[in-house]
Structure 1
Amino acid sequence: MLAVVATALALAGCASPPTGVGYYWQSVTGHLALMRAARPVDDWIADARTSEALRQQLTTARRIRAFASAQLALPDNASYHRYADLKRRAAVYNVVAAPEFSLTLQTWCFPVVGCVGYRGYYDETQAQAFAASLPGDLEVAVYPVPAYSTLGWMNWAGGDPLLNTFIGYPEGELARLVFHELAHQVLYVQDDTAFNESFATAVERLGGQRWLAQAGEAARGDYERFDGRRRALRALTLGTRERLQALYADTQLDTTTRRQRKAEVMAEFRRAYATLQQTWGGYNGYDAWVRQANNASFGAQAAYDQWVPAFEALFEAQGRDFARFYDAVRALAEQPKTERNATLQALLPAPGPTLAASGH
């Protein structure tokens, strides 16, 4: 039972630490229900009741799983050889919180996985209830998480399964998600969410590029449309985060002025998104996130990409060899956090010229 508690609270995109018996119980029962729902992928493919669309996606997922170990040196174990339909839209629902004038997330701590900036629930109603219970001076967000990793701790019991919450993704995105979650089984550093998530995100991007290079033209086209929208949103949110951080760091502003300027930044963000969204041919998948965006939302997003360029630079320095790259990252993880961050900072590419400086 203790092993199940630990794995249910592991992470990836991911899960979080408890503060009472009720939280332990929902974590244990939620994870056990997920494991019980899983059956071998081959059984689903052979089942006459399986829809053709699901059968094709599972067949693709089986190829992706083999590629992950053969081409990306990711763990060759029991994970992602089974599939479960959870009958809901997310594996877990994460709660994040941040102060009114900061993008730094509230953290919760657990002795196994350490301190993380989110708290996960298998039931959305419970997540919303916890969010509502947080102090009123915090900005809070609840978001669905399609998958989480048990860091390999549950491979003895069948491993992490493929889920209905992400099996329908475009081929390239499905590959990236599997690579991301398996990367958490390569390495996990306690008390460093930005390191863990940036590493896994770098692996998913690098691995995704290799997968798409050998995929069909249709898969590349589907992914390019999917990822093009995401890249555009990321660029917009990055600019907004930078404006907010500069605003919050300005000690010359009084609270009223800072609050007013923050409202102006957020209003401009939503106007810019509305203009961007009009170019997407009716796609509205990000509308809810943008409508509810706040410091907590931006803070959670930052954890996933803060060090990605540094890890990509390290990958290049290791000759684009995944096994050597993982060894270099493990060595980096052995450093104290301050030294580790300094090393990552040094690996970050120099910022490019501004539009004005470049003459465009």
Structure 2
Amino acid sequence: MVTIQPGKLSIIGVNALFLTFFASLIGGCAQLDYYAQAVRGEFSLLADARPIPVWLSDPSTSEKLKGQLRTVQEIRQFAVTQLRLPDNQSYRNYVQLQRKFVLWNVVATPALSLKPKQWCFPIAGCVSYRGYYNQQSAQQYGAQLRSEGYDVQVLGVPAYSTLGWFNDPVISTFIRYPDAELARIIFHELSHQLLYVKDDTDFNEAFATTVEEEGTEKWLEVHGNDDRRRAYQEFEERKTDFLALLLTHRQQLQDNYASGLSNREKLRKKALIFTALQDSYQTLKKQWGGFGGYDRWFAEPLSNAHLALVGTYYDLEPGFRALLAQQKNFQQFYIAVARLAKLPKKERHRQLFALAAGASPNLKAARPLTLHREVDTDFPRETYVAP
């Protein structure tokens, strides 16, 4: 399925509404409860959101929040006029939550594998995590999976995307991000609203990330100052360091699980690798002058689930960058990407590889990314959540 600027219904909300009905038919009380909480959580969030101009005119709104909301308006306008992203109602409302995270995701893997458990749903396709609006419910489901022998991580999510099926609000859980990072989130999410291909995460993420990164650099050229550029550079350097650390230890785990060792010996080596990851992180923190922005990622005992969704998009992102350089402007780029999206998965990937192979060596190389961006710093990023 290729979605270009879909109508305004929520990925979570649409699935939840009709799957609540189907869950009752197939006899799943637990399923019914799950979709019911998704409906309640989604609609509660939207019901509490107010237009940004209302917040700005409210005398009880702090000056700090007003400044952050004005920055959002600036970013939102730039997205439409300069990046040709959807001019809709997403990120034009703001909601203040009385909690640190909007969702809690459950990720699970086998004890000796980094392949995450999958949950499949209409519209959104298959995803490798299950989101809850209530932390206790997420913890309970995580405990159930642990009792079944899975490695589990339950992680707070400050933001999520409904892929344009609803008017996503700005949320208090991520408004505190540095300005450039806030711009990246909005550009990235609007890119998903512009184009989304079901069951091709690599394509979707590489496309949105290309727009996000190129768009943020253009935004900084126009709206950046020394403080914004310095914060962005520091943010990027720390993120790159941290992701390199995770990818190194992830590869060690993969090599361990693929080896001919006994399961008992694999489990022993697994524990040693996670201990080494903890130690390496402490060394990295010292290099950062004590910056502890990733500490919460280590709040739970480390397991395969922590690293299951850490991935790289080196493969497809260079092709998108080459295509953008070839098309010379965002509007033509989007048209070309839409044509690619209509091809069979293998063929569109092949064409992106071919574009990358013929690209100028001066094009910026793709950076390592994570699907779950909450590992990006103490200013965690969004996660794409479907029930």
For normalisation by structure 2, the TM-score amounts to 0.79
The match for 1:124 is 135
Alpha carbons of structure 1 residues 100 and 329: separation in structure 2 relative to 1, 3 Å = farther
For CA contacts below 8 A with separation 6 or more, give which structure has more relative contact order. 2
Give, in whole Å, the separation in 2 of the partners of 1:209 and 1:307: 22
Distance 1:100 1:344, change over 3 A: farther
The equivalences for 1:109-188 within 5 A come to 109-134=120-145, 136-154=148-166, 159-188=167-196
Corresponding residue number in structure 1 for 2:368: none
Superposition pairs of residues 282-321 of structure 1, within 5 angstroms = 282-292=290-300, 293-302=302-311, 305=313, 307=315, 309-321=317-329
**Displacement of 1:347:** 5.5
Specify the alignment match of 1:198 in structure 2.
206
Which residue pairs with 1:85 in the alignment?
96
Distance (Å, rounded) in 2 between the aligned partners of 1:112 and 1:100:
30
Equivalent in 18, 36, 43 of residue 25 of structure 1: 36
1:8 and 2:26 aligned: no
> Do the aligned residues in 1 keep the contact of 2:45 with 2:95 (CA within 8 Å)?
yes
More moved, 119-128 vs 53-62: 119-128
Q: 1:201 touches 1:308 (CA, 8 Å); kept in 2?
A: no
- Mapped to 2, the partners of 1:92 and 1:188 lie a distance apart of 22
CA contact (8 A) 2:249 2:277 kept: yes
For 2:264 and 2:271, how far apart are their aligned partners in 1?
Answer: 11
- Select 1:60's aligned residue among 68, 71, 76: 71
Please state whether the residue corresponding to 2:86 is helix, strand or coil.
coil
Q: Separation in 1 of the partners of 2:157 and 2:313?
A: 16
Alpha-carbon distance, 1:64 to partner: 0.2
Paired with 2:233 and 2:313, the residues of 1 have a C-alpha distance of: 19
Q: Aligned in 2, Cα 1:325/1:103: closer, same or farther, shift over 3 Å?
A: farther
C-alpha root-mean-square deviation of aligned residues, in Å? 2.5
Paired letter, 2:204: N
Matched residue, 2:57: 46
Matching residue of 1:244: 253
Code of the residue aligned with 1:53 in structure 2: it is: K
User: Does the aligned pair in 1 maintain the 2:324–2:330 contact within 8 Å?
Assistant: no
Say which SS state the counterpart of residue 196 (structure 2) adopts: coil
Change (3 A) 1:312 1:271: farther
Q: CA deviation at 1:9?
A: 6.8
| 1:323 and 2:331 aligned | yes
SS in 2 for 1:256: helix
Query: Which runs of 5 or more structure 2 residues have no equivalent in the other structure?
Result: 1-7, 16-22, 24-29, 366-387
Post-superposition Cα deviations, 1:221-253, rounded to whole Å, max 9, x if no partner, equal 122222322121011112222222233233x22
Structure 2 distance, partners of 1:340, 1:89, is: 39
Cα offsets for 1:160-214 (capped at 9, x unmatched): 1111011111001110111111111012222233332333233222222222222
Equivalent position amino acid for 1:148 in 2: Y
How far, CA to CA, are the matches of 1:247 and 1:341 in structure 2? 30
What secondary structure, in the 3-state scheme, does the structure 2 residue paired with 1:77 have?
A: coil
2-structure distance, mates of 1:228, 1:20? 42
Instruction: Give the deviation of 1:36 after TM superposition.
Output: 1.1
Report the more deviating stretch, 280-289 or 83-92: 280-289
Higher mean C-alpha displacement, 252-261 vs 100-109 = 252-261
Deviations 1:93-133 (A, max 9, x none): 11111122222211101122111111111111111111111
Question: Normalising to structure 1: TM-score of the pair?
Answer: 0.85
CA distance in 2, matches of 1:163, 1:152: 16
Cα distance in 1 between the residues matched to 2:315 and 2:135: 30
Work out the CA distance in 1 between the residues paired with 2:354 and 2:114.
Answer: 23
Match of 2:238 in 1: 229
Code of the residue aligned with 1:32 in structure 2: it is F
Residue 316 of structure 1 and its aligned partner are, at CA, apart by 4.4
- The number of aligned residues is 336
2:85 corresponds to which of 49, 71, 74: 74
Distance (whole Å) between structure 1 residues aligned to residue 127 and residue 346 of structure 2: 17
Secondary structure at the aligned position of 1:20 is classed as: helix
- Taking the TM superposition and a 5 Å limit, the aligned residue runs for 1:316-355 are 316-344=324-352
Over 3 Å counting, the alpha-carbon distance change for 1:346 and 1:315 in structure 2 is closer
Cα distance in 2 between the residues matched to 1:99 and 1:344: 33
Asked whether the equivalents of residues 92 and 147 of structure 1 are also in contact (C-alpha less than 8 Å), the reply is yes
Letter in 2 for 1:187: L
Residue 100 of structure 2 is aligned to residue 95 of structure 1: no
Contact 1:201–1:305, Cα closer than 8 Å, also in 2: no
Unmatched runs of 5 consecutive residues or more in structure 1: 11-17, 353-360
Does the 8 Å contact 1:179/1:204 carry over to 2? Answer: yes
Distance 1:256 1:347, change over 3 A: farther
Change (3 A) 1:335 1:232: same
1:27 shift after superposition: 0.8
Query: What is the CA-CA distance between 1:84 and the residue it aligns to?
Result: 0.5
The one-letter amino acid paired with 1:213 is E
